[in-house]
A and B are shown apart, each in its own frame.
Chain A
Amino acid sequence: MNALVAVARRDLLVAVRRAGEAVTPLLFFVVVTTLVPLGLEPRPELLAEVAPGMLWVGALLAALLGLERLFAADHEDGTLEQLLLVPTPLALAVLGKVATHWLVTGLPLVLVAPLCAELLALPHAALPALVVGLLLGTPTLALLGALGAALTVSARRSALLLPLLVLPLAVPLLIFGARAVALAASGADPLGPLLLVASLGLFTLSLAPLAIAAALRIALE
Chain B
Amino acid sequence: MDHAPTASPPTLAVADLCLWRGERCLVDGLGFRVAAGEALWLRGANGVGKTSLLRVLAGLVRPERGAIAWRGRDPWLHAAEFRAELLFVGHLDALKRALSARENLAVDGALRGSVSAAAVEVALAALGVAAVADLPVAQLSAGQRRRVALARLALSRAALWLLDEPTTNLDADGQGAVASLVAAHLAGGGLAVIASHLPLQLGAAQHELELAPLRARAA
On A, residues with C-beta under 8 Å from B are 2-3, 5-7, 9-10, 13-14, 17-18, 76-79, 81-88, 93, 220-221
Considering only residues 83-124 of chain B, those with a C-beta below 8 Å from chain A are 83-84, 86, 88, 90, 92-99, 103, 107-108, 110-114
Identify the 5 closest CB pairs spanning chains A and B, nearest first.
A78-B92, A78-B94, A6-B110, A87-B84, A17-B98
Contact B58 A85 (CB under 8 A): yes
Residue of B nearest to A217 (CB): B60
**What chain A residues lie within 8 Å of B107 (beta carbons)?**
6-7, 9-10
Contact across chains for A17 and B99 when beta carbons are under 8 A apart? yes
Q: Which A residues are CB-close (under 8 A) to B98?
A: 13-14, 17-18
User: Known: A10-B107, A85-B58. Contact between A78 and B93, CB under 8 A?
Assistant: yes
By a CB distance below 8 angstroms, the chain B residues around A9 are: 107, 110
Q: Is the C-beta of B176 less than 8 angstroms from some C-beta in chain A? A: no
Check if B33 is an interface residue, CB within 8 A of chain A: no
Contact of A7 among B59, B103, B111 (CB under 8 A): B111
List of B residues within 8 angstroms of A82 by Cβ: 88, 90, 94, 108, 111
Q: Which residues of A contact B112 (CB under 8 A)?
A: 86-87
Contacting pair A10 B58 (CB below 8 A): no
In the complex, what residues of B have CB within 8 A of residue A6's CB?
107, 110-111
In the complex, the chain B residue whose C-beta lies closest to that of A14 is B98
B90 near A78: Cβ-Cβ < 8 Å: yes
Listed A/B pairs (8) with beta-carbon separation below 8 Å: A3-B111, A5-B110, A10-B99, A14-B98, A77-B93, A77-B94, A77-B97, A93-B111
Could you tell me the dominant secondary structure of chain A's interface residues? helix
* A79 and B94 within 8 A (CB): yes
Nearest opposing residue in chain B for A73, CB measure:
B96
Instruction: List the A side residues contacting B114 at CB < 8 Å.
Output: 2
Separation of A87 and B158 alpha carbons in the complex (Å): 11
Which chain B positions have C-beta within 8 A of A93? 111
Measured between beta carbons, the chain A residues less than 8 angstroms from B81 are: 87
Q: Provided the pairs A86-B111, A221-B62 are in contact, do residues A13 and B93 lie with their beta carbons within 8 angstroms? A: no
Tell whether B80 is near chain A: CB-to-CB under 8 Å. Answer: yes
Residue of A nearest to B152 (CB): A82
Contacts of A2 in B (CB 8 A): 110-111, 113-114
Report the Cα distance A6→B96, complex, angstroms.
13
Tell me the bound Cα distance from A14 to B103 in angstroms.
Answer: 11
A13 to B98, CA, bound (A): 8
Residues in chain A near residue B92, CB distance under 8 A: 76-78, 81
Q: A2-B113, A77-B94, A82-B94 are in contact. List 15 more A-B contacts (CB 8 A).
A: A3-B110, A6-B110, A10-B107, A77-B92, A77-B95, A77-B96, A78-B95, A79-B96, A81-B60, A81-B92, A83-B111, A85-B58, A85-B86, A87-B112, A93-B111
Q: Cα distance A151–B178 when bound, in Å?
A: 37
> Within the assembled complex, what's the spacing in Å between the Cα atoms of A6 and B81?
20
Complex CA distance for A83 and B96, rounded to whole angstroms: 13
Chain A CB count within 10 A is highest, among B61, B110, B136, for: B110
Residues of B within 8 A of A83 (CB): 111
Q: How far is the CA of A160 from the CA of B161 in the complex (A)?
A: 39
- How far apart are B19's CB and chain A's nearest CB, in angstroms? 12
Cβ contacts under 8 Å, A3 to chain B: 110-111
B163 CB to closest chain A CB, in angstroms? 13
Min Cβ gap A83→B in Å is 7
A76 to B92, CA, bound (A): 8
- Separation of A170 and B62 alpha carbons in the complex (Å): 34
Q: List, in ascending order, chain B residues with CB within 8 A of A7's CB.
A: 107, 111
Tell me the bound Cα distance from A220 to B92 in angstroms. Answer: 14
* Residue numbers in A under 8 Å from B80 (CB-CB): 87-88
By a CB distance below 8 angstroms, the chain B residues around A17 are: 98-99, 136
B contact residues around A76 at 8 Å (CB): 92
A77 CB, nearest partner CB in chain B, Å? 6
A85 to B161, CA, bound (A): 12
> How many Å lie between the Cα of A81 and that of B58 in the bound state?
10
